[in-house]
Amino acid sequence: CIFGATSEADIVEPELVQLEVGELGISQAATLDWIGRPEQVAAIETQLVQCATAPNTDHLRTTLGPQYLRYLELHLDHISYAGQLYADGRENPPSDRLYFVQHEEPDTALEIIQNSPYYRAGVYSTCTVSPFSALLGNTLEGVAWPQNAIYPRE
């Protein structure tokens, strides 16, 4: 019994319809046209400031920790990310700190970090600054490259 038909006379030919699914031979799931496109945004001028932790400064870092964190909070308008690197593994003190500072001028970005309690107290042995170009990410809320770079059919 096919779908409740009791005799051959009850079976009707199905009506065929054509679906528009894009280019022939390419499944809908395989085409970029069916994937949600991220919004194109302007690149944000960012500098990467990397500071090496000076030896034997663990006690100093612990003591100044609250003031340091408050300083970072007060500069959230310029500091996109701040974090620690552990070159010798997480069980050891951090080897470096990275700061992604939104500013056109490298010297100004470096100055923001040099005014932090950690820098002023000598927690860092050196700090360097390099231009950084963000291509995509949550802080950008989109991609910073031209749409035709990934969607050439337009």
- Determine the Cα–Cα distance for residues 27 and 51; give it in Å rounded to an integer: 50
- Domain 46-137 fold is Alpha-Beta Plaits (3.30.70)
The band of 154, judged by pLDDT with boundaries at 50, 70 and 90, is very low
Q: Give the C-alpha separation, 144 to 38, whole Å.
A: 10
Q: What is the DSSP string of 24-37?
A: TTS-GGGSGGGSPP
List the chain domain ranges: 46-137
3-state secondary structure of 41: coil
The angle at the Cα of 76, spanning 71 to 81, to the nearest 5 degrees, equals 100
User: pTM of the prediction?
Assistant: 0.65
pLDDT at 66 over 60: yes
pLDDT digits (tens, 9 = 90+) for 93-133: 899 999 999 999 999 999 999 999 999 999 999 999 999 98
Q: What secondary structure letter does DSSP report for 144?
A: -
Beta carbons of 140 and 153 less than 8 angstroms apart: no
Phi, psi of 147 (to 5 degrees): -60, -35
pLDDT digits (tens, 9 = 90+) for 18-58: 555 554 544 545 544 544 555 666 667 899 999 999 999 99
Convert the pLDDT of each residue in 76-98 to its tens digit.
999 988 999 999 999 998 999 99
